[in-house]
Structure 1
């Protein structure tokens, strides 16, 4: 790629340029690569470009919110957009931020930060960060990327601490499990979900605890992370994350409030600000999840809360269903936990489902676990996902071509697992009840999408419905990163240059993307578009119809190459007409209008109901005339045969008579001769 071309494709917002040749690896994070950047108007302005790695969904729907914020506790997000870094991996999302001149806080903590006491660290870290979080939360957004490796000194003097980017990846995916609330830490990283202020303040508490200890627990290995998770489930996050840490009572009270596993009791902005202002209250002593009156023993380990047991059962999927049935889990929930509604729901799930191995048994166990731990992730085989994490995890499953996860996600929706926890909300809390009913309606709609097999629906439709800014993932256009119908049409027009007649311009992703953007929410609206009769002609006409429908919403977009691609594939449609004159006219008209780039014009030629009716009527008339002529010919042939038989009969009679007369004549001559 030439320098000019590279410049053109690496400019964001018409003003800021990402510099592909300047890698800043010290600012890389999971799924994010850092590069140099420049302001084309202010060349000396210190900037950095963060580029999302290919294959990860991003949170670009929040770009406008973040860009408006000017908070000391946040690195300023200047601009964002889609660029092509020129590495051959296609277009990707990138953001331009102010460059943190003082480096990462985690590096400072290991050197100069060793001499700071707990209260000094709390003032340095917490004051700017809680103000930044409040600004985000007031805008109804959670940061969800609060970690020591995403915390920087914005200035060279290292007086201002600021959080880094939160857009270039799924919420919570890059977090160590120590920085996620216990429910979300139990989910797959990409399925941890958007969360809200409570999740951000938990991460803030974990960050402060890690800063005090100068280490992040659970990062040493996968076994260390699993052990940390077990201790959190057993003893609570506060105890597990501050184990062996030495700090004063005041700081302990702050951490107890922030690291509470009871989200309702967890501290937020007001409590932390009060603490920083000297009103040193102490977080709730009972900061763990509700404990059972007696433990449930599974594989020799005592479990005293529902989430601990649900996690252990999910980790031992094949033997869990037998244990659930044999050990009377429903009775334990009803009596030891004291929740009869949940116990009854578990009883009903077991009674209504299959209890053997295989998909039927998997669904039963999944419903049991959803009722056992309604605040935790939805679990099915290897998948654990929060309800608000379904969209990102489905996106990752498609991007990674992970068919097992896609199948599990489809089953989660088809089995109605999200509705189980929602049905267990307190019926006396009207606000929660209304919220649950709204969410249930949304999940019912998604289940309807999955259940519909036609193009435009299925899990692909759920993908684009839950990820509204995700580009179309069709292999035909993925490198172009199309995020709108106009982008998609132009990407297909470009793709048409190298497409052969054997390549279809519409697949399940393109159909679902268009259906989502056009807000087509029920199959009937598309049935006449993407489903025609049987055969090749109907399939190709359906592809034209769908793309034409998309172009009707973007009349300014002309796609001559795509039109030509479609014309090359419309042969079977043209041949489905009966009249030779009609076919010849259509072929000439298609060639004439293709350069205009109007798909509706193509559609008007080959899918005109009046022309089709006239063609059918002409065919019917021709068939009737043919039948009439055939009948006439048959009658004529039959008449000729009858006349031939009559002539033969008459001829024989005449011949006989002539023969008789000749015979008489001969006899008469002989007689007269004798006389």
Structure 2
């Protein structure tokens, strides 16, 4: 199960009574009225009401800051009432007092009947084999079919996320799934083998079959009235699922009703190709018998491979164990016994050859990052388990979930170095090389090539920050300058910087790497030239590029006056103003900036600093002065070297004599005047 990061940022609720928070001038959310029975694992629930419809029963979930919600799903489902789904009313950022910053608030209709597992525990509801189809399977299948037509996966199906909408407890619905990345809140037992091995943020949306697998596990829990694998830790659960199969692991020690054997075998198949899809489930509900699932046995060796005190009979369990003990794994891999076991025990010469090739390649480039123990273990884990996630230095993710995995790394560790290394070392390319292909795989492979292109450029607007925002469109800007304002839309950025001018050190520039990457990702205009200017080592060029970009945004986005931001930027423009040669021009610009700051127009400030006419006049004036100075200097040099003609020399001597005579006469006159004053 994913550890909720909400606890890391939430802290204790403030004891003082707090005013309700208003969303979209319509919904009131009450920080003093938590609803613990409606909490999700990554979002806290609070009472809410609609000021325009006081009779409606609502509640709000406050998302964990920094954890990207599923905005695409929310934009599609907002205001829709679909059978089997908790109705989403609205969502938006609010200034949330308990956390002292803006957060995403998601408003749902309140399930009046309560949570299913709580009702079962209290004895108020009983689920038996005779009504489980009509009461549980059919409404949830209808919900999944509605989501599938919208290309949405739920990815949060489990007994604790089932609610009754009505007091009569007849209308069962699936609960929230949009306040965290897909699969983030799921306990491992509800995840397929490959996605369960990924980090919580790296599980991804997958296909509808992932939801059907979770539904199958949910049914087993409800039939048995408990967790059938509560005695297994994560290692034991994966080992059993891989070697025995999910169905045998979950259902092997209990009686399953005959009527449910067929759908459970179909939904819990570990072969994605054989696992039931929604249409097969729909046909079963309609009474149409499906072809029996042929269990595909796991590839096992009669001779176990011993590693870290555990004996492994399958390459998949060994791959997972390697990635959990990487230093020991690298040593084991280099010893050569692994290739021998794959060849003799598993009978897979392709895997054995690939392992030997990897080890030999590492030996030939000893000092390369591609010969490091971490890289070797990552590559070998892909060779052993090509269906599993990409795994490197403790971070694991499915290819469709790199973006959320990167965001979670930033939230939990404040460090994305490992995620960046994965792209720099091109580890995803290794994973794709071992796949069978297909349109979906090709799409993800193209995305990783784009990421690699961003990462190779170290200028502002690129790097790992650009990767973060390109692959997390719902993630707010993480710059310390605006992080508390929850800025997701580019239209809200300049007003947030304008407000930040009143609380930050204005000696800092209003654009850092996060802000520039956020702009490059979300602003639709071509800003390539602006990014080049921001990358300049010359301070004046950098400042003009910054002003130019901000001015372009204000003009293009039609943003209102920005008095604070203009004052902030104006105070930094000294080096840019000093690029003018003419002191009078510099003084005039300095005098005029305060009046433009009072207008709140970055565009006007830019036009003042970068006036084409002013620049031309300054350039021409400088050229003329330079030429005049050069001419005078040339004459002086010519005199010193005796290069002037006789006539020119005579004229110059006469001029010098006249000047000396004038000076002497002036001195005599001044002396006479002084004597007269004294006497």
Give the TM-score range, shorter chain: 0.7 to 0.9
How many angstroms apart in 1 are the aligned matches of 2:378 and 2:86?
42
Q: Which residue in 1 is equivalent to 2:316? A: 307
- Tell me if structure 2 keeps the 8 A contact 1:374–1:420: no
Q: Which residue in 2 is equivalent to 1:208? A: 219
Q: Which residue in 1 is equivalent to 2:553? A: 550
Matched, 1:83 2:94: yes
CA displacement at 1:483 relative to structure 2? 1.2
Question: Which is greater in Rg?
Answer: 1
TM-score (norm 2): 0.85
How many angstroms apart in 2 are the aligned matches of 1:88 and 1:607?
43
Q: Which residue in 1 is equivalent to 2:307? A: 298
- Tell me if structure 1 keeps the 8 A contact 2:531–2:545: no
Q: Which residue in 2 is equivalent to 1:166? A: 177
CA displacement at 1:57 relative to structure 2? 1.5
Q: Counterpart of 2:571 in 1: which secondary structure? A: helix
- Tell me if structure 2 keeps the 8 A contact 1:318–1:357: no
Matched, 1:377 2:395: no
Q: Which residue in 2 is equivalent to 1:325? A: 334
- Tell me if structure 2 keeps the 8 A contact 1:530–1:546: no
Deviations 1:381-435 (CA, angstroms, capped at 9, x unpaired): 11111111211111122233432xx111111112222222322333xxxxx4344
CA displacement at 1:87 relative to structure 2? 2.0
Matched, 1:424 2:434: yes
Matched, 1:530 2:531: no
Moved more, 364-373 or 111-120: 111-120
User: For residues 401 and 566 of structure 1, do their structure 2 counterparts lie closer, same or farther at Cα, with a shift above 3 Å needed?
Assistant: farther
Deviations 1:62-82 (CA, angstroms, capped at 9, x unpaired): 112222542231111111111
Matched, 1:188 2:192: no
Moved more, 82-91 or 464-473: 82-91
Q: Which residue in 1 is equivalent to 2:6? A: none
How many angstroms apart in 1 are the aligned matches of 2:528 and 2:342?
44
Structure 1 residue runs of 5 or longer lacking an equivalent are 427-431, 647-675
Matched, 1:70 2:81: yes
Q: Which residue in 1 is equivalent to 2:510? A: 505
Matched, 1:126 2:137: yes
Moved more, 248-257 or 458-467: 248-257
Moved more, 288-297 or 407-416: 288-297
CA displacement at 1:506 relative to structure 2? 0.5
Deviations 1:297-345 (CA, angstroms, capped at 9, x unpaired): 4345443433212101111101212322333545655776566665555
Deviations 1:234-267 (CA, angstroms, capped at 9, x unpaired): 3222222235333233323322211111111111
CA displacement at 1:490 relative to structure 2? 0.8
Report the number of matched residues.
Answer: 630
- Tell me if structure 2 keeps the 8 A contact 1:511–1:546: no
Q: Which residue in 1 is equivalent to 2:658? A: none
User: For residues 292 and 549 of structure 1, do their structure 2 counterparts lie closer, same or farther at Cα, with a shift above 3 Å needed?
Assistant: farther
**Which aligned pairs between 1:214-225 and structure 2 lie closer than 5 A?**
214-216=225-227, 224-225=233-234
Q: Which residue in 1 is equivalent to 2:241? A: 232
Q: Which residue in 2 is equivalent to 1:412? A: 422
CA displacement at 1:374 relative to structure 2? 2.1
How many angstroms apart in 2 are the aligned matches of 1:357 and 1:633?
63
User: For residues 335 and 582 of structure 1, do their structure 2 counterparts lie closer, same or farther at Cα, with a shift above 3 Å needed?
Assistant: farther
- Tell me if structure 2 keeps the 8 A contact 1:38–1:45: yes
Q: Counterpart of 2:596 in 1: which secondary structure? A: helix
Deviations 1:617-647 (CA, angstroms, capped at 9, x unpaired): 433432332232234345557779x99xx9x
How many angstroms apart in 1 are the aligned matches of 2:69 and 2:202?
13
CA displacement at 1:470 relative to structure 2? 1.4
Deviations 1:501-552 (CA, angstroms, capped at 9, x unpaired): 322100011000000113589x9655433123x3432332232233233334
Q: Which residue in 1 is equivalent to 2:628? A: 625
- Tell me if structure 1 keeps the 8 A contact 2:199–2:396: yes
Q: Counterpart of 1:55 in 2: which secondary structure? A: coil
Q: Counterpart of 1:622 in 2: which secondary structure? A: helix
Q: Counterpart of 1:131 in 2: which secondary structure? A: helix
How many angstroms apart in 2 are the aligned matches of 1:283 and 1:32?
41
Q: Which residue in 2 is equivalent to 1:471? A: 476
How many angstroms apart in 2 are the aligned matches of 1:408 and 1:116?
46
How many angstroms apart in 1 are the aligned matches of 2:587 and 2:168?
79
Matched, 1:578 2:590: no
Moved more, 95-104 or 535-544: 535-544
Structure 2 residue runs of 5 or longer lacking an equivalent are 1-13, 644-648, 654-679
User: For residues 232 and 529 of structure 1, do their structure 2 counterparts lie closer, same or farther at Cα, with a shift above 3 Å needed?
Assistant: same
Of 156, 160, 170, the match for 1:149: 160
How many angstroms apart in 2 are the aligned matches of 1:57 and 1:507?
21
How many angstroms apart in 1 are the aligned matches of 2:611 and 2:335?
65
How many angstroms apart in 2 are the aligned matches of 1:552 and 1:447?
32
Q: Counterpart of 2:404 in 1: which secondary structure? A: helix
How many angstroms apart in 2 are the aligned matches of 1:142 and 1:170?
11
User: For residues 558 and 217 of structure 1, do their structure 2 counterparts lie closer, same or farther at Cα, with a shift above 3 Å needed?
Assistant: farther
C-alpha RMSD of matched pairs (Å): 3.1
Matched, 1:515 2:525: no
How many angstroms apart in 2 are the aligned matches of 1:159 and 1:69?
20
User: For residues 586 and 141 of structure 1, do their structure 2 counterparts lie closer, same or farther at Cα, with a shift above 3 Å needed?
Assistant: same
- Tell me if structure 2 keeps the 8 A contact 1:310–1:369: yes
Deviations 1:564-614 (CA, angstroms, capped at 9, x unpaired): 110001012112322101201221332232233332322222234664454
Of 441, 461, 465, the match for 2:466: 461
How many angstroms apart in 1 are the aligned matches of 2:274 and 2:323?
27
Q: Which residue in 2 is equivalent to 1:10? A: 22
Q: Which residue in 2 is equivalent to 1:247? A: 256
How many angstroms apart in 1 are the aligned matches of 2:333 and 2:474?
41
- Tell me if structure 2 keeps the 8 A contact 1:60–1:469: yes
- Tell me if structure 2 keeps the 8 A contact 1:20–1:35: yes
Q: Which residue in 1 is equivalent to 2:598? A: 595
CA displacement at 1:283 relative to structure 2? 5.1
How many angstroms apart in 1 are the aligned matches of 2:106 and 2:506?
39
CA displacement at 1:189 relative to structure 2? 0.9
- Tell me if structure 1 keeps the 8 A contact 2:477–2:514: yes
Q: Which residue in 1 is equivalent to 2:278? A: 269
How many angstroms apart in 1 are the aligned matches of 2:228 and 2:614?
73
Moved more, 346-355 or 172-181: 346-355
- Tell me if structure 1 keeps the 8 A contact 2:40–2:176: no
CA displacement at 1:440 relative to structure 2? 1.8
CA displacement at 1:58 relative to structure 2? 0.8
User: For residues 606 and 335 of structure 1, do their structure 2 counterparts lie closer, same or farther at Cα, with a shift above 3 Å needed?
Assistant: farther
Of 349, 367, 390, the match for 2:379: 367
Matched, 1:93 2:104: yes
CA displacement at 1:437 relative to structure 2? 3.0
Deviations 1:121-158 (CA, angstroms, capped at 9, x unpaired): 23311110011001101110101111222111111111
Moved more, 246-255 or 447-456: 246-255
CA displacement at 1:489 relative to structure 2? 0.8
Q: Which residue in 2 is equivalent to 1:140? A: 151
